[in-house]
Amino acid sequence: MRTKQANPQNPITKPDTQQRSTGRIGDMEKIKIGDPDVVASRIALGTWAIGGWMWGGSDVPSALRTIEAATDHGITMIDTAPVYGFGLAEEIVGRALAPNGRKRILIATKCGLEWHGEKVRRNASLTRIREEIEDSLKRLQTDYIDLYQLHWPDPEIPMEETAGALAKLLREGKVRAIGVSNLDRSQTEKFRQIVPVHTIQPPYNLFERDIERDLLPYAKETGLIVLAYSALCRGLLSGRMSAATRFDGDDLRRVDPKFQQPRFNQYLAAVSELDRFARENFGRNVLLLAVRWILDKGPTIALWGARRPEHLHAVRQVAGWSLDEASTREIERILAAAIADPVGPQFMAPPERATEPAAA
Ligand SMILES: NC(=O)c1ccc[n+]([C@@H]2O[C@H](COP(=O)([O-])OP(=O)(O)OC[C@H]3O[C@@H](n4cnc5c(N)ncnc54)[C@H](OP(=O)(O)O)[C@@H]3O)[C@@H](O)[C@H]2O)c1
């Protein structure tokens, strides 16, 4: 299996340490988002778990150390959202970054959800977005957001109103780039007619591949950057889980259909085979393979959710190698052989105007 050459036309900067299985640690790859000044690391820290809600609770000191570890390892983008811990994740990001100044760390956050207690619903109205941006800026202890993303589409609000609100924030300099999350291709196309969109944020990992049908090709055609969420499939691709793994409290994996038997065993079998394949061919584990696979799929940033500093110790081992076509084919074979009953991440969608709590 050969290493793949980078395409010189794309916005991705790879270090010149292209090699396969030497175990050499590479420099972080970078990618431009819109404005040439907005250059992000291709691995970003995801902070949903740090907020605790739907992840069995938050450990603030550990979260602060995780953010410090992320920046030490060369991660320069942090993805968060008001709803993660109902403000707590943003507050933690603010506390972690403010003492040293923002400098080179890019903050990506979101808008378009509201909550009452722990009941979450969509609200992407102009009024809600104006309120949310001010709250986010306070919690993040900053006066601008590098990437501001609509978290979920809100069918009850005209897209012109939502997109118009974001366009205004861009003009005011409160946000530097705009993204959309969980929008399909036609919704994204419509949104882009009203306001410049720089990024999309869909679920994308080895097990959740819907975007390959149309959103990913669309992003490649149009220059949109893809922030791939649940890069580790909510920890399933970390390689640490077994059939005996249990989750506490409100941890969403207690209801995530991938983590329920008999399906859980199918996914665990795939993880085990992928791990064997990664070790034999690249001297890496399944987690590193999962992140590398995302980066090799196009103009992507992998959102790696971590809540303990040791989660990130191998980040730099994602760089310096890549997957060729034969490897990609073998990965497809492993997935098809192991997973007879695949299921997607649809269970995470928050209700449009209902009152049941939901993921975001
Ligand atoms: N836009 C949206 O609607 C949306 C939706 C979902 C996610 N996101 C974004 O994407 C980010 C990542 O997705 P995600 O939070 O769903 O999860 P993920 O990145 O797929 O998985 C995160 C979990 O993997 C485990 N993990 C990470 N590194 C590990 C390591 N080295 N060893 C062992 N386990 C490890 C940890 O679980 P344990 O601590 O439990 O072991 C961690 O909480 C989020 O934080 C958020 O920023 C966005």
Q: 63-97 burial by CB neighbour count: b if 16+ within 10 A, else e?
A: bbbbbebbbebbbbbbbbbbbbbbbbbbbbbbbbb
Say if CB 315 and CB 74 are below 8 A apart. Answer: yes
Length of the chain as a residue count:
360
Q: Which H helix or E strand runs over 161?
A: helix 159-172
Position 359 scores a pLDDT of 52
Cis peptide preceding 262, ω within 30 of 0: yes
Residue 277 CB less than 6 A away from ligand 1: no
Pocket probe for ligand 1: among 245, 303, 310, 347, the residue whose CB has the most ligand atoms within 8 Å is 303
- Cα-to-centroid distance, 161 and ligand 1 (Å): 31
Residue 327 CB less than 6 A away from ligand 1: no
Here the tokens at position 233 are 């499939």
Position 25 scores a pLDDT of 55
Q: Which atom of ligand 1 is nearest to the CA of 313?
A: 31
Cα separation of 111 and 360, whole Å?
11
Q: Within 13 A of 191's CA, how many CA atoms are on the CB side?
A: 30
Position 3 scores a pLDDT of 35
Position 123 scores a pLDDT of 97
Tell me the β-bridge partners of 254: none
**Identity at 269, one-letter amino acid code:** A
Cα separation of 200 and 11, whole Å?
15
Position 36 scores a pLDDT of 73
Give the residue whose CA is nearest to atom 41 of ligand 1: 235
Per-residue pLDDT of the chain (360 residues; tens, 9 = 90+): 433 333 334 566 665 433 333 333 568 999 999 777 789 999 999 999 999 999 999 999 999 999 999 999 999 999 999 999 999 999 999 999 988 777 789 999 999 999 999 899 999 999 999 999 999 999 999 999 999 999 999 999 999 999 999 999 999 999 999 999 999 999 999 999 999 999 999 999 999 999 999 999 999 999 999 999 999 999 999 999 999 999 999 999 999 999 999 999 999 999 999 999 999 999 999 999 999 999 999 999 999 999 999 999 999 999 999 999 999 999 999 999 999 999 999 999 998 765 444 555
Give the residue whose CA is nearest to atom 28 of ligand 1: 311
Cα separation of 33 and 79, whole Å?
14
Give the residue whose CA is nearest to atom 14 of ligand 1: 230
- Cα-to-centroid distance, 8 and ligand 1 (Å): 31
Cα separation of 305 and 313, whole Å?
13
Q: Which residues contact 51 (CB under 8 A, 6 or more apart)?
A: 58, 80, 83, 84, 85, 86, 88, 89, 92
- The whole-model pTM stands at 0.93
Position 2 scores a pLDDT of 34
Pocket probe for ligand 1: among 58, 238, 286, the residue whose CB has the most ligand atoms within 8 Å is 238
User: Whose structure tokens read 């292209």?
Assistant: 18
DSSP string, 235-298: TGGGS---TT----TT-GGGT-GGGSTTHHHHHHHHHHHHHHHHHHHHS--HHHHHHHHHHTTS
Cα separation of 41 and 12, whole Å?
10
Q: What share of the chain is helix, strand, coil (3-state, %, to 5)?
A: 40, 15, 45
> Does the CA dihedral 238-244-249-252 come out positive or negative?
positive
Nearest Cα to Cα of residue 104 among 148, 58, 72, 59: 72
Nearest Cα to Cα of residue 301 among 226, 353, 357: 226
Q: Which atom of ligand 1 is nearest to the CA of 152?
A: 3
Position 129 scores a pLDDT of 98
Q: Which atom of ligand 1 is nearest to the CA of 253?
A: 40
Q: Can you say whether residue 348 is alpha, beta or left, with left for phi > 0 and alpha for psi between -120 and 50 degrees?
A: alpha
Rounded to 10 degrees, the C-alpha dihedral 66/258/301/332 comes to 130
Q: Has 84 been annotated as catalytic?
A: yes
Q: How far apart are the first and last CA of the chain?
A: 39
DSSP string, 182-233: S--HHHHHHHHTTS---EEE-B-BTTB-GGGTTHHHHHHHHT-EEEEBSTTT
- Cα-to-centroid distance, 11 and ligand 1 (Å): 25
Position 351 scores a pLDDT of 82
Position 178 scores a pLDDT of 97
What are φ and ψ of residue 237, in 5° steps?
A: -85, 10
Position 102 scores a pLDDT of 73
